[in-house]
Amino acid sequence: MELTADKIKELVVKPENKVYTKTPLLTDKTLSYCPGCGHGVAHRILMELVEEMGLENDTIGIAPVGCSVLAYEFMNVDMQEAAHGRAPALATAIKRLWPNKFVFSYQGDGDLAAIGGNETLHTCNRGENITIIFINNGIYGMTGGQMAPTTIPGMRTSTSPYGRDVQMMGYPLKMTEIVAMLPGTYYVSRQAVYSAKHVRKAKKAIKKAIEAQLEGKGTSFVEIVSNCNSGWKMTPVKANQWLEENMLDYYHLGDIKVDGKLVKEIV
């Protein structure tokens, strides 16, 4: 059977064919992220959960600066723009004004761990009842591939062309482990989206984070270890392989804090 445009449309609109389309909470705008980037997958599972949990009319997202600034073009919910690193502060203000809303920030590692590191720590320490989605690709993706606070030892970037030297540049920040130690965090997890198995686990973790906020438990924090194939100068397939073989040795996946209690040893 030749799959013409009309035939594809016919298949998609028939529920019995079980052809899955994107959630209506993603706009029809073509994703402008680099092909193979994990941002698109993270967007999809987050918006799927908002739809599945019936929160589409009660959700407010915060997009700061970096690649994550584009989120408001693709997420079909109320979105606000924050200055670089200030998404947790803006999310705090919105949640305090509208405590019955589901409020989340969607941030990259340069934004959350560098210029926004102070905002992140104090927000989590206060236990603000918001959800933070943290995309960690170990690099400044939008601005030229510079070394980020999360760049792992030996990793090459445009500002560490010979690899990150910890004697000169210091060690990477494990933000997820750091915030897990703070009393205000209730659910803290690190996941990935480079395979179908990991996408399912990431979606489950984000759902737990949303539920924690709806129950008024405090700050929930989900890190997603992702790739930046353009910044890493790799094909999407090679970038995913490099992520699995290198990033995950430093950034271990899984729940770290559940129900306000550490469930994994901090290393």
Structural domain contains residue 210:
yes
- Whole-prediction pTM: 0.90
Q: Which of 98, 80, 100, 99 is nearest to 90 (CA)?
A: 80
Structural domain contains residue 252:
yes
Q: What is the distance between the alpha carbons of residues 138 and 183, in angstroms, rounded to a whole number?
A: 26
Confidence of residue 65 (pLDDT cuts 50, 70, 90): confident
Structural domain contains residue 22:
no
pLDDT at 149: 93
The parent domain of residue 80 ranges over: 34-262
Structural domain contains residue 58:
yes
Question: For the chain, what is the largest distance between any 2 Cα atoms, rounded to a whole number of angstroms?
Answer: 61
Q: What is the distance between the alpha carbons of residues 214 and 21, in angstroms, rounded to a whole number?
A: 27
State the total domains in the chain: 1
237 and 245 Cβ atoms separated by less than 8 Å: no
pLDDT at 106: 97
Residues 98-127 as b/e (b if ≥16 CB within 10 A, e otherwise) read eeebbbbbbbbbbbbbbbbbebbbebbeeb
Structural domain contains residue 6:
no
Confidence of residue 257 (pLDDT cuts 50, 70, 90): very high
Q: What is the distance between the alpha carbons of residues 193 and 141, in angstroms, rounded to a whole number?
A: 17
179 and 264 Cβ atoms separated by less than 8 Å: no
Could you tell me the CA-to-CA distances from 155 to 150, 159, 163, 221 in Å, in that order?
10, 11, 5, 25
pLDDT at 265: 77
Structural domain contains residue 197:
yes
68 has a pLDDT exceeding 90: no
pLDDT at 264: 78
Structural domain contains residue 2:
no
**pLDDT tens per residue, range 97-155:** 999 999 999 999 989 999 999 999 999 999 999 999 999 999 988 777 789 999 999 99
**pLDDT tens per residue, range 163-218:** 999 999 999 999 999 999 999 999 999 999 999 999 999 999 999 999 999 999 99
Look up residue 100 and give its two tokens.
């019955």
Structural domain contains residue 24:
no
CATH classification at residue 209? 3.40.50.970
11 has a pLDDT exceeding 70: no
218 and 129 Cβ atoms separated by less than 8 Å: yes
Confidence of residue 237 (pLDDT cuts 50, 70, 90): very high
